[in-house]
């Protein structure tokens, strides 16, 4: 038996391909933290709510079952004392990750940390926003950004749907001259601004709720969902300058052809990266 429980942990077992919409729903319902545990083709979302939120368990189950395919969701619940919750959250929310050849990501409490390879360090404070580098789509975007941006290749980066701000922060660390980070969710926007400050790059990133209409960027990245990417085709196509690159992610493999078909009139596909059920596209804007 736990003494003085303060948090209720709800474990949501769902197919891996539904992780992002389920996480978005749980955050919108006021989750005090989410961390993801992979389990083959399924994932466990560990979600924390204050103890007095007991009535949320039934409501969350109903909401998720309306959102996701029938029979794909199961929930379990347990009480956690404050100390145990903090330990689990710190351990799992932002794990230490070495991505590509140049990036090292972790939470502030992980540092100072041995960095003999002299990677660019990114510190992320846990918050209710997507993008800690653990999801396949985020990692793919980071790997593509690393290949595009260097200290000798100067240019501006547009990050649409910045979430935690990770891709924008990585852009500045890799060498982007300036970064515009777009986010409509006020909670995520606050998290992204705080993370930019923690990393000392807040002066290099302009945060906005909309894509600037007249600006042109050497690089663009949008880690969203396939339907949203299709809706944004005109805006993103105008934002990337001829000869520039656009990274599109958050796309399920079965949706890739539809997304690519909408962007092909103005872009050439350079590379497609697949990780599990997710694909990320690297495109180049045609000069004519």
The predicted structure's pLDDT at residue 2: 37
The predicted structure's pLDDT at residue 82: 63
- Of the candidates 141, 134, 119, the one whose C-alpha atom is nearest the C-alpha of residue 219 is 141
**pLDDT averaged per 10 residues, the chain (length 288):** 59 83 75 70 79 72 86 82 62 71 80 72 69 77 93 86 93 95 88 92 96 95 94 97 96 94 97 90 93
Threshold 0.85, pTM exceeds: no
The predicted structure's pLDDT at residue 269: 98
DSSP state of 150: B
Measure Cα distances from 113 to 96, 123, 173 in Å: 10, 11, 18
Distance CA 143, CA 158 (A): 16
The predicted structure's pLDDT at residue 91: 58
The predicted structure's pLDDT at residue 4: 47
- Taken in order of first residue, the domains within the chain and their CATH numbers are 5-92 (3.30.70.120), 128-285 (3.40.50.150)
Tokens of 134: 């653990």
Q: Strand ranges (DSSP E) for 82-177?
A: 97-99, 103-106, 120-123, 156-160
Length of the chain: 288
First to last CA, the chain: 68
């Amino acid at each position: 038996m736990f003494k003085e429980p303060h948090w209720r942990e709800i474990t949501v077992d769902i197919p891996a391909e539904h992780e992002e919409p389920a996480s978005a729903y749980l955050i919108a319902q006021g989750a005090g933290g989410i961390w993801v545990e992979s389990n083959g083709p399924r994932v466990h979302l560990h979600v924390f709510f204050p103890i007095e939120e007991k009535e949320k368990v039934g409501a969350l189950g109903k909401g998720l079952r309306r959102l996701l395919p029938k029979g794909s969701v199961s929930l379990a619940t347990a009480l956690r004392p404050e100390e145990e919750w903090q330990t689990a959250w710190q351990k799992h929310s932002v794990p230490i990750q070495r991505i590509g050849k140049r990036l090292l990501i972790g939470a502030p409490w992980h540092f100072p940390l041995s960095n003999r390879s002299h990677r660019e360090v990114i510190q992320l404070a846990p918050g209710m926003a997507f993008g800690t580098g653990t999801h396949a789509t985020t990692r793919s975007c980071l790997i593509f950004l690393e290949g595009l941006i260097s200290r000798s290749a100067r240019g501006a980066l547009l990050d649409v749907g910045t979430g935690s701000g990770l891709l924008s922060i990585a852009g500045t660390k890799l060498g982007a001259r300036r970064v515009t980070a777009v986010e409509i969710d006020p909670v995520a926007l606050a998290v992204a601004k705080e993370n930019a400050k923690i990393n000392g790059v807040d002066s290099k990133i302009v945060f906005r709720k909309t894509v600037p209409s007249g600006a042109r960027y050497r690089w663009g990245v949008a880690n969203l969902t396939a339907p949203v990417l299709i809706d944004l085709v005109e805006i993103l196509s105008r934002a990337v300058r001829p000869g520039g690159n656009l990274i599109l992610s958050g796309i399920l493999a079965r949706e890739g052809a539809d997304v690519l078909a909408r962007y092909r009139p103005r872009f050439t596909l350079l590379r497609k990266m697949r990780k599990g059920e997710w694909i990320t596209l690297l495109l180049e804007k045609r000069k004519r």
